[in-house]
Amino acid sequence: MTRTPGRSSAGVGFIQLVLALAVILIVTVVALKMYQRSAPPVRGGGHPARAVLDRVELRIEGIASETDALQATEALRRVPGVAGAAVDARTGVARVTFHPGRTNRDRLVAAVEQAGYRVAP
């Protein structure tokens, strides 16, 4: 039985590639663990980004269908600083989570009105 040079070198090349990928994976996992440990501890519980967000409920007039609710939701989500928005088609209530340093209730109301709906006082 004789060996052909092409087969053994291809097998060795594949093994070297697998070993190199394994080493890269191990180094990446170790680096991520070290990075996580270097972060300052979070105080006050919870996620720090959630602590700076405000929530508001807006009663929107003129919501008659799911399509209306989706249009109003998208108008609210496009406002810079809005982290999340959802409008209930049955009740016409919009629940908006936003960063108070980037937007405010007046801007949210303006976005809803620009979409063709009215916010109840």
Q: How are strands ordered across the β-sheet holding 82-87?
A: 82-87, 93-98, 54-61, 118-119
Handedness of CA 106, 110, 111, 115 (dihedral sign): positive
pTM: 0.58
CATH top class, domain 48-119: alpha beta
Euclidean distance between CA atoms 111 and 69, whole angstroms:
13
Half-sphere exposure of 57 (CA within 13 A, CB side): 5
pLDDT in tens, the chain (121 residues): 555 555 556 678 889 999 999 999 998 888 888 777 765 555 555 555 555 899 999 999 999 999 999 999 999 999 999 999 999 999 999 999 999 999 999 999 999 999 999 999 8
**Tokens 């039985």 map to which residue?**
1
